[in-house]
A and B are shown apart, each in its own frame.
Chain A
Amino acid sequence: MDDQTNDQTALKITPLHALHLELGAKMVPFAGYDMPVQYPLGVMKEHLHTRAAAGLFDVSHMGQVIVKAKSGSYADAALALEKLVPVDILSLKEGRQRYGFFTDDNGCILDDLMITNRGDHLLVVVNAACKDQDLAHMKANLEGCDVTLLEDRALIALQGPRAEAVLAELWAGVSAMKFMDVREVPLHDVDCIVSRSGYSGEDGFEISVPQAHAVAVAKALLEHPDCQAIGLGARDSLRLEAGLCLYGNDIDTTTSPIEASLEWAIQKARKTGGDREGGFPGATRILGELSNGTTRRRVGLKPEGKAPVRSHAKLYADAQGVTEIGEVTSGTFGPTVEGPVAMGYLPVAQATPGTQVFAEVRGKYLPMTVAALPFITPTYKR
Chain B
Amino acid sequence: MLKFTAEHEWLKLEGDVATVGITTHAAEQLGDLVFVELPEVGAELTKDGNAATVESVKAASDVYAPLDGEVTEVNQAIVDDPSLVNSDPEGAAWFFKLKLKNVSDADGLMDEAAYKDMIA
Contacts and interface: CB of A to CB of B under 8 A. Distances in A.
Given A308-B60, A310-B60, A42 B32 contact: yes
B55 interface: yes
A11 B40 CA distance: 44
Interface string A329-343: 000110100001000
B92 to A, nearest CB: 19
Contacts of A237: 57
Contacts of A47: 57
Nearest to B56: A43
Contact of A332 (B31, B37, B53, B57): B57
A234 B34 CA distance: 14
A333 B55 contact: yes
A159 interface: no
B58 A44 contact: no
A308 B32 contact: no
B35 interface: yes
Interface in A283-316: 306-308, 310
A43 B58 contact: yes
B35 A332 contact: no
A47 B58 CA distance: 12
A43 B35 contact: no
B57 A233 contact: yes
Nearest to B37: A307
B34 A308 contact: yes
Contacts of A335: 57
Q: Chain A interface mostly helix, strand, loop or mixed?
A: mixed
B57 A333 contact: yes
Q: Chain B interface mostly helix, strand, loop or mixed?
A: strand
Contacts, number: 44
Nearest to A303: B35
A382 interface: no
Interface string B9-47: 000000000000000000000011011010000000000
Contact of A44 (B34, B55, B59, B60): B34
B53 A362 contact: yes
A38 interface: yes
A37 interface: yes
Given A307-B37, A362-B53, A332 B58 contact: yes
A307 B58 contact: no
Nearest to B29: A26
B32 A44 contact: yes
A107 B59 CA distance: 32
Contacts of B59: 310
Interface string A213-250: 00000000000000000000110110000000000000
B55 A307 contact: yes
Nearest to A41: B32
Nearest to A236: B58
A308 B31 contact: no
A42 B34 CA distance: 12
Contact of B35 (A37, A45, A306): A306
B55 A43 contact: no
B60 A333 contact: no
Contacts of A234: 57
Contacts of B55: 307-308, 333
Given A307-B37, A307-B55, A43 B32 contact: yes
Interface string B89-104: 0000000000000000
A239 to B, nearest CB: 13
A38 B58 CA distance: 10
Interface in A36-78: 37-38, 42-45, 47
Contacts of B57: 43-44, 47, 233-234, 237, 332-333, 335
Contacts of B37: 307, 362
A60 to B, nearest CB: 21
Interface string B53-93: 10111111000000000000000000000000000000000
Interface in A1-51: 37-38, 42-45, 47
10 contacts: A43-B31, A44-B34, A45-B32, A47-B57, A234-B57, A306-B34, A308-B55, A308-B60, A310-B60, A333-B35
Interface of B: 31-32, 34-35, 37, 53, 55-60
Given A38-B31, A307-B37, A333-B56, 15 more contacts: A42-B32, A43-B31, A43-B32, A43-B56, A43-B57, A43-B58, A44-B31, A44-B32, A237-B57, A307-B55, A308-B34, A310-B59, A333-B34, A333-B35, A362-B53
Top 3 closest A-B pairs, CB basis?
Answer: A44-B32, A333-B34, A43-B57
